[in-house]
Amino acid sequence: MSPAFRIAREEWRLWLRSRMVVGAMLIVAVLIAATGALTLNRLSTQGVQRAAQQEAAETAFFSQPDRHPHRMVHYGHYAFRLPPPLAVFDPGVDAVTGQSIFLEGHRQNTAMFADAKASANMGGFAALTPAALYQLLLPLLLIIIGHGVVLRERESGTLAVLLA
């Protein structure tokens, strides 16, 4: 059995005995589940809003009087992009790029309705997602684990042997 595997097994045994570590693991699990549920709820609400806006845009576009097709294109049409399924975990750049675009012939329009402008004062915590929690908590967890492993090996006198 390799020394790294023995150290990892011993660490897991110590963690499972510690109530503080088990409590911390439960808190992290609850946070990830809560942010996942809140993100899923937010995405479903936004999906309903997008569908209503897309239907209103299509109704307004198709209710125009008959015109030449080339002229019709210049009146434009809104298109709303649906988020990918993994947006429940990480919404990606939607807050910056937006979810809709105004399509108009012979013209290139930028994406609109981005959330980033409305939540700039809250920084990265405006839409806390499971991916953001992992990015915040895992580096801290790695530092704590590394510190605990090195400290225990040093106290037991096996650190010099492992480093050799």
Q: Give the position of tokens 């510690």.
A: 18
Is there a domain that residue 163 lies in? no
Given a cut of 80, whether residue 20 has pLDDT beyond it is: no
133 and 31 in contact (C-beta within 8 Å)? yes
- Domain assignment present for 104: yes
- Coil vs helix vs strand at 112: strand
Yes or no: say if 52 and 104 are a contact pair by the CB < 8 Å rule.
no
Q: What is the mean pLDDT of residues 19-39?
A: 85
The total number of structural domains in the chain stands at 1
Tens digit of pLDDT for each residue in 77-110? 778 888 878 887 777 777 666 777 777 777 665 5
Asked if residues 159 and 153 have their Cβ atoms less than 8 Å apart, the reply is yes
Angle in degrees, CA 139, 20, 141, rounded to 5? 5
What's the pLDDT tens digit per position in 102-159?
A: 777 776 655 555 555 555 455 555 667 888 888 888 888 888 877 877 888 788 887 7
pLDDT of 63 higher than 80: yes
| 112 within some domain | yes
pTM: 0.62
Which strand ranges, in their side-by-side order, compose the sheet holding 111-112? 77-80, 100-103, 111-112
Q: Which domain holds residue 73?
A: 3-158
Question: Residue 35 — very low, low, confident or very high, per pLDDT cuts 50/70/90?
Answer: confident
In a domain, 164, yes or no: no
